[in-house]
Amino acid sequence: MFSFKKTAVITALLLIMALLLVGCNAGKETAQPVTDNKKNNKRIVFVSILPQADFVRQLGGDRVEVSVMMPPGANEHNYEPDTGQLKALSQADLYVKVGHLPFEEAWMERFISTNRDMLVVDSSQSIEMIEHNPHIWLSPRLVKIQANTISAALVQLDPENQDYYLQQKQIFLKELDKLDQEITTTLSGVKGKSFLVYHPAWGYFARDYGLQEVAIEEHGKEPGAREMSRIIDYAKKNQIKTIFDSSQHSTHSADAIATELGARVVLLDPLPENYMDNMRKVAKTMAEELGRE
Ligand SMILES: [Zn+2]
């Protein structure tokens, strides 16, 4: 005959087991989004910077889930990913790197060792770089080459949907052509002018549209006194009235030179979330500012 004590112990054990089962299910629920993506067959793509996320979303449409390594406001030259991001990276199918961003060069090996199954694509392949300048995403003409590279990687990962990716790519390339023509028209009145910028992000852009970029920053550092006075002389001779800068980079010497010249500092965004709108805005701002000089 069972004693009351024995029954109580068995009941307690059953209760504990039930609670443990509930606990396990709760754990499974928090992991659901990734499981869903795998089930929907969405490819998980990591990129380094925000504009690349825009490119991958245009090219991959509803077949991709995109994550950006560098959050808004961070500097592409010295960013350091956190452990949460490295953990998230272990789920990725593809990493699209810009190519030669200093933070990529410092972290890529670590990224690869976190996820050895992940395909890694360098979007600067097939692009002729000028003096190791990594800012290739700020030229719509070079983005067309990057689009081909990214699209080929998506097809490699998900060959069943090749037709879909090719269709998305054609739409994106057409939009880039349209953007390129619009910028050419917007900047036609200031062709041949030079502009002063703190961080040298706009070299490819300048080359494409017949402008000349003069950077204040030297190898990622504030310029020395001699370089500062050389820039000020140059700006006076060329009647430069605007210094372009970005919120992600230091503005101290840009402000100092602006004061010296009686020029103003105008911000341009080199790391936009919405690429097309931002590039139109950049062209319009440059046309207005350089048109005053
Ligand atoms: Zn930069």
Ligand 1 center to 103 CA (angstroms): 11
- pLDDT for the residue 252: 81
Ligand 1 center to 55 CA (angstroms): 18
Task: Please say whether the beta carbons of 63 and 40 come within 8 A.
Answer: no
* 232-272 confidence digits (pLDDT tens): 999 999 999 999 999 887 678 888 899 999 999 999 999 99
Token pair listed for 146: 């990057």
Q: What is the pTM of this model?
A: 0.85
Strand partners, 14: none
Asked if pLDDT for residue 78 goes beyond 90, the answer is no
Ligand 1 center to 249 CA (angstroms): 8
- How does the average pLDDT of the chain come out, rounded? 89
Which residues have a beta carbon within 5 Å of ligand 1, which is an ion?
76, 201
Ligand 1 center to 202 CA (angstroms): 9
Ligand 1 center to 42 CA (angstroms): 31
Task: Please say whether the beta carbons of 75 and 249 come within 8 A.
Answer: yes
CB atoms within 10 A of CB 98: 22
**What element of type H or E holds 268?**
none
Ligand 1 center to 3 CA (angstroms): 77
**How many whole angstroms separate alpha carbon 260 and alpha carbon 291?**
21
Token pair listed for 134: 């990594």
Closest CA to 217 of 200, 203, 205: 200
- Amino acid of residue 120: V
Stronger pLDDT, 144 or 27, i.e. the higher one: 144
User: Could you tell me the domains of the chain?
Assistant: 38-180 (3.40.50.1980), 184-291 (3.40.50.1980)
Ligand 1 center to 277 CA (angstroms): 20
